[in-house]
Amino acid sequence: MLWLIERDRKEILLLQLSSTRGLCFVDLCLLGQIGIATGTGLLQEVVYLVSQGADPDEIGLMNIDEQLPVLEYPQPGLDIIKELTSPRLIKSHLPYRFLPSDLHNGNSKVIYMARNPKDLVVSYYQFHRSLRTMSYRGTFQEFCRRFMNDKLGYGSWFEHVQEFWEHHMDANVLFLKYEDMHKDLATMVEQLVRFLGVSYDKAQLESMVEHCHQLIDQCCNAEALPVGRGRVGLWKDIFTVSMNEKFDLVYKQKMGKCDLTFDFYL
């Protein structure tokens, strides 16, 4: 699978992947993600809060991205990951088959968040439009066609999500859905607590859930984030009837044999 368009960037990534083969990931909690627009920004704060028992007010003052480096990025690179103390929290865009062997062998924990693809493609389009480095100026219709044809930078969403879903019953994998964060956040926090092997009293859990609700509200608040990328059902504001019909057809063709389901609106 071709991950990035630029030849030099691809070569850097291949070098990074080869470097991970000998890296031990015992006690690592990896946030597997299917792209920039999956809600991983929210999830990483929730996971950091739960795993570290951190003060929500202190997290608000942190650059949380510095606490969770990206496995395959050349900067800051693997050296910073090797220096982290256990349990290490690391993010990745990689498909399951490219993850280090320690994760396949069950020596590390993987948290994967998936988002319904209609909201994801809208959010991903808006993300591309918002960054100068991306400079995407095409139409949403063209962007959506590229998504359906597996022509975007991180490869096929359909293959990526199905690969992880095949392992969702593995003891070291926790497969989460973005929409469930909005439907029942308390249950998701409890899932994370059990999966990470930590314990908190009722008051602490309630405080965590309340803080996480505030994070979600900030993400979905139109005034705080004009593009509103965090809303569930975002796609209904931009999909035409014909686009929706075409998307449903492609989705059925590519996901028809998979029993994974999504909430496309709440």
Phi-psi region of 64 (alpha: psi -120 to 50; beta: other; left: phi over 0): alpha
Q: Is the pLDDT of residue 9 over 50?
A: no
Contacts 24+ apart (CB under 8 A), 147-152: 147/117, 147/121, 148/246, 148/247, 148/250, 152/124
Q: Is the pLDDT of residue 99 over 70?
A: yes
Mean pLDDT throughout 114-135?
Answer: 84
Mean pLDDT throughout 23-34?
Answer: 59
With bands split at pLDDT 50, 70 and 90, how would you rate the model's confidence at 51?
Answer: confident
Q: Is the pLDDT of residue 261 over 60?
A: yes
Q: Is the pLDDT of residue 114 over 60?
A: yes
The whole-number pLDDT of residue 27 equals 62
Active site residues: 93
Segment holding 175, helix H or strand E? strand 173-177
The whole-number pLDDT of residue 14 equals 44
The whole-number pLDDT of residue 262 equals 96
* 33: nearest Cα among 145, 152, 148, 157: 157
The whole-number pLDDT of residue 100 equals 78
pTM reported for the whole predicted model: 0.83
CA–CA distance, 181 with 70 (Å, rounded to integer): 23
Q: Is residue 3 within 8 Å of 154, Cβ to Cβ?
A: yes
The whole-number pLDDT of residue 28 equals 64
Q: Which residue has the higher pLDDT, 191 or 35?
A: 191
Mean pLDDT throughout 97-104?
Answer: 80
- Provide the mean pLDDT of the chain: 79
Q: Is the pLDDT of residue 25 over 60?
A: no
CA–CA distance, 31 with 254 (Å, rounded to integer): 24
Q: Which residue has the higher pLDDT, 174 or 12?
A: 174
DSSP for 65-116? HHHS-BTT-SSS-HHHHHHSPSSPEEEE---GGGS-HHHHTTSSEEEEEE--
Q: Is residue 160 within 8 Å of 3, Cβ to Cβ?
A: no
The string of pLDDT tens digits covering residues 214-254 is 877 776 654 444 445 678 998 999 999 999 999 999 999 99
The string of pLDDT tens digits covering residues 35-50 is 556 667 778 888 888 8
Q: Is residue 89 within 8 Å of 48, Cβ to Cβ?
A: yes
With bands split at pLDDT 50, 70 and 90, how would you rate the model's confidence at 127?
Answer: confident
Segment holding 156, helix H or strand E? none
Q: Please, what are the domains in the chain?
A: 24-255 (3.40.50.300)
Torsion angles phi and psi, residue 111, rounded to 5 = -110, 120
